[in-house]
Structure 1
Amino acid sequence: MGNKDISKDVLSSINKKTGKKISENEVKKLASGVTAETMQSEAELRKLIKQVSTMAKVPVAESTVNDIVKAVKASGMNMNSMETLMKMMMKK
């Protein structure tokens, strides 16, 4: 599966699950500020999760934030692991 396919699948899944319409441009704008350091820093990662939550207008429980942070850190930022993580999150 190519990156474009997974990106569209993720966006479509988010829109379906939240019942809210998030544009590809909104996601790109947010993603443009994400760096490897963002994923390494727990504070930055938490900030990113909150930004996504706000953009999607979907509250995220602190326990869920903790689970996401733990999963991202455990993945070691391997892109295959990140794709697997995204697929897992889409199924929740």
Structure 2
Amino acid sequence: MAWYLIKLVVLLPLIALFAWGSLRLAKRMEGRFAMSEGPSSGLRIVESRMLSPSLRLAVIAFHDREILVSTSKQGLVLLGDAPARKGGSDD
């Protein structure tokens, strides 16, 4: 019984630490690996910048327009839009 309690006291926090670390890593790597939507998709993220841990700016290309949005925990805010640049940065 004592051996079981010792393993529980040692391994349970270790498993919790691994779970917490993997969630933090997933949150940090979020958005780093773009998924290809195919040539027919009319939506793509042109550029994205982190301003703080909870605030991000993103330029989204959508139907020959570029839309600047701010994302945070509260949601999305449209900051501006303009016609798409023809010689812009294509990935």
Q: Which has the higher helix share?
A: 1
TM score, norm. by length of structure 1: 0.24
Structure with larger Rg: 2
Q: Which has the higher strand share?
A: 2
